[in-house]
Amino acid sequence: MKTNRIMSAILTLAVGFVSITSCSEKDDETIKGAVALDVNSAVVPETAQIRPGAIVIDGKGGTVTVPVTAGLPDGTAAQFSVTVAAQTWCHASVEGSILTVVIDKSDDTSGRVTSMEIAATAAGAEISPLTVSVQQGEKVIPSGEVKFDESSVEMPENATYTNGVVDMPYAGGSVSVAISNTLTEPVEVEYAIDGDLPAWCVAAIDGDKLVVEVEPSVTATVDQAVITVKATGKTETVNMLAGTFRINRAPFTSSMPMVLVKGGTYTMGAGLSWVDIWDDYTKVGRELQPSKNYYEYPVTLDPFYIATTEITQKLYQQVMGENPVKDFVGDNYPVVNISWSMACEFCNKLSEKEGLTPAYAQGDIIEIPDPWGWGPGTKIQDYTIVDGANGYRLATSAEWEFAAKGGNDGINNMTVYAGGNEEDDVLWYADNSKINNKESLREVAQKQPNALGLYDMSGNAAEWAYDWGTKYADRDERAAITGAVNPVGPEWKSGMDEKVSRGGSYRDYASKCTLYTETSTAADVTSAMGIRVVRSVK
């Protein structure tokens, strides 16, 4: 009996041992693992971070790629899957062992968070999933600064550009420069001029280019315009520093005040005149009517400068060393008693004095025979125009009339005389210039100016123009330059002995002082003829 009990115990122990051995072997067949991110091999945007359990990225979003592992022995393959919590801005996928996470650009003004679970399966393995937090910051507003491409600056030949500043001559001109910005994000922007500019500077945006038009100067100081260009996003908000582009315009200097006459097109010869109204043989009044000139035709003029007054005796004497006036002598009286040739010579001398290029070259001596045969005739020293010169010269008849009418604004508000319709307000003429019952020259700028600020364009001293005079019989020659640009009148031909004078004088009737009246005058010394100078915009 004792022996049997011993054998039974041995058998029970053996069975238990076998049972324990079998359980151990079964447990060893199940492989344990856990999903993890290989953060050291991740590829992320510059401003993003990846951690073992989190992806942190700013509002710009972007794409994150990172290998994932299952923590299994070498040679044991796992299949991965990813699930993202319900939202619309984070997208994840796994291909092989590479996790790709695409995070949209944020439009939220505060941050946002979501999560995703990465799971893995493998035969004979238990693999713990990984929960990854995705944290995105608030909306990122792209920022940068407006810039100007220095290599693209286009400007007049005599202008210079340094560090965002264009130094312009007094004559002005056109400037253009390409606009760029320092935005690193591909944001489409549009540019605009911000703030007001001085009247002489007009700026506009043409696509991605700043275009500036600078008018000629009439001031004796350097003028500056600061052009501010701002940028805004076309489809989204951007934070852009504006760019500034500066224009320095050189001063305009002259021995006398001058104004700029902007270029334009007008009908030369057109105007208004007073017409008397009669009741039987009694004059009962007068009314304004369009002038009936034998020539009226369109001309187009470039801009030019013109003196606000006639040349005074004081300035003429300073330049020429003498005063040709015998009566009505005074510093502030117009210089008279000068021929057309003397007027041209004065222009050249004044140009040389101010360092300008003389506008005239001395030409031939033109001999005009005496039509009555009583004397040797007249000799006229001719002067021809020098192309491109910036010096003083006489106005052409077309320039004179355009300025006298007040330029572009004045031709739309026509008056009979320069500055108005009433004679006593704007001109010295035969009826009101008398002193001691004698028609008398008067000091300049004593009457009302015209719209451009020009004095005595009607009356006081008549003024030489450059053009050769056209006799009534040759009016077709005048009409032949219809539509001309910067006309200088007909070319000289044999028999021409007169130059154009404009404005009438202190000893003329008012009808000769009208804006449209063009008079031909012998190009000799004339006691009522004076000078008003102009300069081309060069």
pLDDT in tens, 215-261: 999 999 999 999 999 999 998 889 999 999 999 999 999 999 999 99
Exposure letters 417-453 (e unless 16+ CB within 10 A, then b): bbbbeebeebbbbbeebeeeeebbbbbbbebebbbbe
Q: Under CATH, to which class is 31-136 assigned?
A: mainly beta
Phi-psi region of 229 (alpha: psi -120 to 50; beta: other; left: phi over 0): beta
Q: What is the pLDDT of residue 374?
A: 73
How many Å apart are CA 436 and CA 242, to the nearest integer?
Answer: 69
Q: What is the pLDDT of residue 417?
A: 98
Q: What is the pLDDT of residue 490?
A: 79
State the SS3 of 51-100.
ECCEEEECCCCEEEEEEEECCCCCCCCCEEEEEECCCCCEEEEEECCEEE
Tokens 């945006």, residue located: 205
How many Å apart are CA 168 and CA 224, to the nearest integer?
Answer: 10
Annotated domain spans of the chain: 31-136, 143-249, 258-333+386-536
Crossing angle of helices 313-320/340-353, nearest 10°?
70
φ and ψ of 387, to 5 deg? -60, 135
| Correct CATH for 143-249 of 3.40.50.300, 2.60.40.10, 3.30.1600.10, 1.10.3720.10 | 2.60.40.10
Q: Is 91 exposed, middle or buried (0-12, 13-18, 19+ CB in 10 A)?
A: middle
| Correct CATH for 258-333+386-536 of 2.40.33.20, 3.40.50.620, 1.20.1560.10, 3.90.1580.10 | 3.90.1580.10
Q: What is the pLDDT of residue 176?
A: 97
In this structure, what token pair is assigned to residue 168?
Answer: 């312009």
The dihedral formed by the CA atoms of 324, 330, 331 and 336, expressed in degrees to the nearest 10: -40
143-249 and 31-136 share a CATH fold: yes
337-368 tens-digit pLDDT:
999 999 999 999 999 999 999 999 999 998 87
How many Å apart are CA 232 and CA 189, to the nearest integer?
Answer: 5
How many Å apart are CA 266 and CA 260, to the nearest integer?
Answer: 17
Q: What is the pLDDT of residue 480?
A: 61
Q: What is the pLDDT of residue 8?
A: 44
Q: What is the pLDDT of residue 14?
A: 39
How many Å apart are CA 40 and CA 33, to the nearest integer?
Answer: 20
E strand map for 151-292:
160-162, 165-168, 173-181, 189-194, 201-206, 209-214, 223-233, 239-241, 243-249, 258-261, 264-268, 272-279, 282-290
* Residues written for the chain: 538
Order of strands across the sheet with 62-69?
36-37, 62-69, 98-103, 90-95
CA end-to-end span of the chain, whole Å?
Answer: 141
Positions in the chain short of pLDDT 70:
1-28, 371-373, 375, 471-483
